[in-house]
Structure 1
């Protein structure tokens, strides 16, 4: 292959390669309700069929092993092909003529030569940006660095540069070095509009992103000017060189310490990496525009030598991973996501959070280098931080709150990799909750039993955080009626969005529906992905795949599961009305929770107070909205 495949052509392959025909070559599919097929999963042994295909949404999912995806991912798994070759295979079958962003169409012609040219273009671009940092226009960038405690030597150490304002400065510079338009397209340094190529990075502070060998493979750029309407941080798009799920910023500088100390410090941004290294923490790295994921785990484990035989116990590999997060809700959510990856390490995992919520960059700026090293010295085990987070989200002064906190924390204790630590943390949890150790031990044992349940049976919901599982993202309890209502609503939005939006009640709900209606964190994130994909009103033929792309790798399996779960109806002509009813039920539950919250505030405020009066007005409005749904 001579370059990356055009995204529109990939979408065309998904639409024109019937998933039921491709899967049907390997699996005997039978009807499983309207618009659904099922058969025996080709990826694990099973006696009864749990592998479902929904041709209408172009997705498949196995409710036994949890695997799922689109037609391309099926071919990749089934035939062991990399992504590009799977697309080419399907394109040949579907009659889709593929275009390659780097030009040409030969399967592997010139691949090595192209990579060399792309690396050269990035070296030249990095030098150009670094030189521009000294220009009068770049004063705003120098001020940005200085205000955060970074001088010229620091900028040179990390290769920080400045992309000048204007549309073609870098492009003309590279053209002057002999690069063709096709090569410029393949670099990811250019964007393309009606008038041709133009610079992707303009008026921004720029960090070169290097692979483990030190080669520049991409850039991250920070917005500086108020009239810049782009995102705060803009990264290189996916290219033949740059795969964000596999890239860690600062790894080229950190690798020696990571190997020698067998410890990796994962921070959240470019300036945090700079601050750590300048403070002497030279094993710090950061992800680039994406969450820390499974591919990053593999990179880190290889570098640390986080290996062992079948008898190796947790922590005996001698490796450590320390995550730093902001102290806000986003930081806590990042910690929970990292905990889901914890089982992929043999290494001990820790988290370091400043009590005042400062990140390493702010910490160094305000308190000096020693504060950064002190932050990491006071790290705590990741699972302990997750337990504490679960407890903090409940009112431990009430019996109900303590019971809910126990339900949230017990699965975390059950998920501690080092089984020898479980009794100790059961005792600690008993102390934190003020409950008998025996009650805690029973709850942990029940949670551990749920984790060992038969495939396809997720453990009970834990409230504040999802139940922990050995493989894949944890899932909520499907027996919970609220969970079922939320899952069914997302199934409607993924499988029949236009029909639901055409129903009067469905349209009424969709006008006001937002992520706060979902209590399950994963479902809330899937709804956010639906919104990011344009919302139900923009759903097209590749709708579920578009949502999965927005959701990201961690949630893609949940999107597949929701998109292929058969909807309990058998009248396609009534699908819109049924979908509207399902969405109305979801909104009704949300309004009921809001009404309960308002009544609680009114009671605490007391009759005759301004708070009580304000709450009463809010209560009337909520009751009116709920009646409009129940009696449309």
Structure 2
């Protein structure tokens, strides 16, 4: 992994214009020397309590207590890690990052990646220019206009056209100094089967949709055929050094920032669906490019948003894809919602037929995944027969059992009772008879998730950090034991079971499963889960453990400050000073971890 010098980080921080950076998310007004205020971009409020000190490169919200430097702001608003935030800010403010001394092999790998990125960037520009300038591409331009896509939208997404000739990209790239091996690695050419040793352009007579990473660097292409007898209809870059289809989300480079601001991402299937939604003003849309949602894609989405709206084709395949999405997102923080589309339509067709307002209205009326799943089961139920209703109840039991007590749950129960012509009491009795073993735990959006009943329940982000700290204590027995002795679990931790786990593990980090009380099954499950997580923690260190502890200490002080404000306490300033000291320690340890990567 590329490691940047500490000087690079300092130069990026110094180059950042905090007012310009924050103003991209919220309007700021001057309120004195080195002081700007605006509405907080991290929580809803009417009176601006978000304070920016440009000269100090610092922001702080007096409402939600969010605070940090330019790197924190980028990580929070665009879902980036520290390295991504550093690179994005360097790009935005024109700073050249310098790498630390690398071993020759690492330097060679980095330079190769940079050349492949450059090669793909050149090819993207060539395809885009060819689409708009070549007579041969007239049919492609007409097809795209027929899909209702404007030239501005197509240029924004760098859509292009690959000529019919066998060697245009090959010849131009060779002339620019790239080798055949690099062209093969980038997926732009392929080897001839008839003439071993020769290569030719992989993409010909196709509309080219470039797929980029979060920074906008093109990694590969999806290419749509323009002739009826041209197979396959869509030809993708093969998985290689840069491109991995299962990790890619088409349009993520353009959708990330608006989605991070709204907390919602819209998931569609195809390339033109993404373009149609962006053109309709729904800028937080990304595409899975006609494949099933993967765990890698879910991790990328969960870093940016908390709500995922499924806007997939209204056919059997699209509905099945939504059920698979629910299974893949099980255990993530994502809440799933479903955008209802007319039977047989995809988003791009709906925009072309009914206009952008019609699609926006449907997105605004999205429904929880549980409601979609219940309706899907009811639609295929033969409610005229007792056997059909029994089968429906058996299918619905785990779905409804996964929805916590709420107005939504009551509404779904009433809907099911009406459609199956059952009284509320009868339905409740039948649902109960399904047994707890048939009921899954709550999943995203209240959806069903296949899970063992005894699995550790889903937890929120704050409690997840407590779990991660305890897992590190087990992974590092000696430093972990010292850390557990030094803390007060009642003050540092908020979860009751994790407090019990901390007390149990303290003194036995080398054998945490020993001496578990026989009457606390929940504790036994949690400790077993911590041991399993410690076993797959990978590269751990005392620094990483200290960083995890400091994060919890910062959260403890945040709670103390909120409690003091509510009680009218006088020690808020002292607590704030201590929190600032902890924050500085977090930055210091984080910097050491970054240098160690």
Q: Does the CA-based 8 Å contact 1:297-1:344 persist in structure 2?
A: no
Q: What residue number does 1:167 align with?
A: 166
Q: Does the CA-based 8 Å contact 1:171-1:198 persist in structure 2?
A: yes
TM-score, normalization: structure 1? Answer: 0.51
Q: Give distance in 1, aligned partners of 2:404 and 2:295.
A: 17
CA deviations over 1:524-581 (Å, ceiling 9, x no partner): xxxxxxxxxxxxxxxxxxxxxxxxxxxxxxxxxxxxxxxxxxxxxxxxxxxxxxxxxx
Q: Give distance in 1, aligned partners of 2:223 and 2:251.
A: 15
Q: What residue number does 1:122 align with?
A: 120
Give secondary structure in 1 for the equivalent of 2:338.
strand
Cα drift, residue 452 of structure 1: 6.9
Q: Which moved more, 1:267-276 or 1:383-392?
A: 383-392
Q: What residue number does 2:254 align with?
A: 253
Q: Which of residues 380, 388, 394 in structure 2 aligns to 1:393?
A: 380
Q: Does the CA-based 8 Å contact 1:235-1:289 persist in structure 2?
A: no
Cα drift, residue 290 of structure 1: 2.2
Change (3 A) 1:443 1:467: farther
Q: Give distance in 1, aligned partners of 2:153 and 2:181.
A: 35
Change (3 A) 1:243 1:329: same
Cα drift, residue 448 of structure 1: 6.2
Work out whether 1:366 is the aligned partner of 2:367.
no
CA deviations over 1:101-123 (Å, ceiling 9, x no partner): xxxxx975721111101100110
Cα drift, residue 301 of structure 1: 0.8
Q: Give distance in 2, aligned partners of 1:293 and 1:448.
A: 31
Q: Give distance in 1, aligned partners of 2:182 and 2:158.
A: 23
Work out whether 1:470 is the aligned partner of 2:468.
no
CA deviations over 1:243-263 (Å, ceiling 9, x no partner): 112110011111111110000
Work out whether 1:231 is the aligned partner of 2:271.
no
Q: What residue number does 1:530 align with?
A: none
Change (3 A) 1:427 1:200: same
Cα drift, residue 289 of structure 1: 4.5
Q: Does the CA-based 8 Å contact 1:383-1:416 persist in structure 2?
A: yes
Q: Which of residues 118, 129, 138 in structure 2 aligns to 1:131?
A: 129
Give secondary structure in 2 for the equivalent of 1:110.
helix
Q: What residue number does 1:206 align with?
A: 208
Cα drift, residue 425 of structure 1: 2.9
Q: Does the CA-based 8 Å contact 1:411-1:448 persist in structure 2?
A: no
Q: What residue number does 1:272 align with?
A: 273
Q: What residue number does 1:197 align with?
A: 199
Q: What residue number does 1:320 align with?
A: 307
Q: Give distance in 2, aligned partners of 1:108 and 1:122.
A: 21
Q: What residue number does 2:151 align with?
A: 152
Q: Give distance in 1, aligned partners of 2:326 and 2:431.
A: 17
Q: Give distance in 2, aligned partners of 1:353 and 1:121.
A: 41
Give secondary structure in 1 for the equivalent of 2:413.
helix
TM-score, normalization: structure 2? Answer: 0.54
Change (3 A) 1:188 1:249: same
Gapped runs of 5+ residues in structure 1? 2-105, 305-318, 454-465, 473-632
Q: Does the CA-based 8 Å contact 1:244-1:289 persist in structure 2?
A: no
Q: Which runs of 4+ in 1 moved over 6 A?
A: 417-420
CA deviations over 1:465-517 (Å, ceiling 9, x no partner): x9841279xxxxxxxxxxxxxxxxxxxxxxxxxxxxxxxxxxxxxxxxxxxxx
Matches within 5 A, 1:587-602: none
Q: What residue number does 1:113 align with?
A: 111
Q: Does the CA-based 8 Å contact 1:206-1:219 persist in structure 2?
A: yes
Q: Does the CA-based 8 Å contact 1:207-1:220 persist in structure 2?
A: yes
Give secondary structure in 2 for the equivalent of 1:213.
coil
Give secondary structure in 1 for the equivalent of 2:303.
helix
Q: Does the CA-based 8 Å contact 1:327-1:355 persist in structure 2?
A: yes
Q: Does the CA-based 8 Å contact 1:451-1:468 persist in structure 2?
A: no
Matches within 5 A, 1:5-84: none
State the aligned residue count.
Answer: 342
Change (3 A) 1:147 1:442: same
Cα drift, residue 335 of structure 1: 1.6
Q: Give distance in 2, aligned partners of 1:289 and 1:468.
A: 23
Q: What residue number does 1:606 align with?
A: none
Q: What residue number does 1:378 align with?
A: 365
Give secondary structure in 1 for the equivalent of 2:216.
coil
Cα drift, residue 280 of structure 1: 0.6
Matches within 5 A, 1:85-104: none
Q: Which of residues 395, 414, 434 in structure 1 aligns to 2:401?
A: 414
Give secondary structure in 1 for the equivalent of 2:222.
strand
CA deviations over 1:409-451 (Å, ceiling 9, x no partner): 2221123367785455333322232213234334444556115
Cα drift, residue 401 of structure 1: 1.5
Q: Does the CA-based 8 Å contact 1:414-1:448 persist in structure 2?
A: no
Change (3 A) 1:238 1:295: same
Work out whether 1:438 is the aligned partner of 2:425.
yes
Q: What residue number does 2:139 align with?
A: 140
Q: Give distance in 2, aligned partners of 1:421 and 1:372.
A: 24
CA deviations over 1:373-400 (Å, ceiling 9, x no partner): 0110121111111111111112112222
Q: What residue number does 2:96 align with?
A: none
Work out whether 1:336 is the aligned partner of 2:323.
yes
Q: Does the CA-based 8 Å contact 1:451-1:470 persist in structure 2?
A: no
Q: Give distance in 1, aligned partners of 2:435 and 2:155.
A: 51
Q: Give distance in 1, aligned partners of 2:409 and 2:115.
A: 54
Give secondary structure in 2 for the equivalent of 1:343.
coil
CA deviations over 1:257-290 (Å, ceiling 9, x no partner): 1110000000111111111011110000001342
Q: What residue number does 1:216 align with?
A: 218
Q: Which of residues 308, 326, 333 in structure 2 aligns to 1:346?
A: 333
